[in-house]
Amino acid sequence: MAVRLRRRGGDLAPDPELWAALRHGDGLREVLDDFYTRVYADPRLGPFFRFATRERAIDKQFAFLKELLTGEECYFGDRPYNAHHWMVISDELFDHREQLMADCLRRHGLDEAQVARFRRIDEVFRKQIVKSEPKPKKLRGEAIPLTGFGDVVIAGGTLCDGCGQALDDGSAARYHLRTGQTYGLTCCDGAEPRGLERA
Ligand code: HEM
């Protein structure tokens, strides 16, 4: 089911003129390609993306913005609150990201009025994204645990998310309640190796 961003996005009506300025998608893809290259290289923003590929970030953001700008239901990802629930993002870091985006938009030919209209979209979601501590993800109104592990017996076989070793059919493992990442009991003691912790 589509996410119905527009109702949540308050006054965000589709903006066909801005979509046209972004060459009906081709220009937007170029902007996002440039933007995420800079985001991944940015010392403050880059670390948030260590569990997501640049291509995935671009594709999700493209669909999200396309839906908002055209009104066409094409985004099937998380809402901004859930997508960022574990990320501690300050107003100042949010401003920094906006600045980076504005610079990319200018480099790709948008004028100041168009940059300001683009920024209005981000601003609608600021309150859902900026926070001083992680918030639980919500699924149909229910809060999902932020931390903790459950026990699982591997059916079929998979790879340990900690070290990549094979977890054979019937072996004991533990999985992170929020992320679903699975760690073998024998290889990784059923826990995330140091430095991999998400929240
Ligand atoms: C400093 C600000 C921000 C940071 C650090 C940030 C970081 C991230 C990261 C790391 C992901 C990937 C999550 C994952 O795949 O597990 C993500 C996804 C996403 N972000 Fe942001 N973000 C920021 C601001 C925004 C803003 C302003 C918007 C939109 C207005 C936005 C929209 C999205 C969308 C649509 C996704 C995809 C959600 C999904 O995977 O279903 N983000 N963000």
Domain of residue 114, CATH code:
1.10.490.10
pLDDT band at 146 (very low <50, low <70, confident <90, very high): confident
DSSP secondary structure of the chain: ----HHHHTTT----HHHHHHTGGGHHHHHHHHHHHHHHHH-TTTGGGGTTS-HHHHHHHHHHHHHHHHH------S--HHHHTTT----HHHHHHHHHHHHHHHHHTT--HHHHHHHHHHHHHTHHHH--SS----EETTEEPPSS-EEEEE-SS-EE-TTT--EE-TT-EEEEETTT--EEEHHHHTTSPPTT----
pLDDT in tens, 106-119: 999 999 999 999 99
| Boundary (domain end) residue, out of 115, 139, 163 | 139
Give residue 2's pLDDT.
45
Are residues 158 and 110 part of one domain?
no
Out of 39, 55, 84, 121, give the residue to mutate to test ligand 1, the one with the largest number of ligand atoms within 8 Å of its CB: 84
- Number of domains forming the structure of the chain: 2
What global pTM score does this model have? 0.79
Higher-pLDDT residue of 182, 145: 182
Are residues 85 and 165 part of one domain?
no
Task: Compute the mean pLDDT over every residue in the chain, rounded to the nearest whole number.
Answer: 90
Out of 1, 8, 15, 60, give the residue to mutate to test ligand 1, the one with the largest number of ligand atoms within 8 Å of its CB: 60
Residue 197 placed within a domain: no
pLDDT surpasses 70 at 6: no
Residue 185 Cβ inside 6 Å of ligand 1? The answer reads no
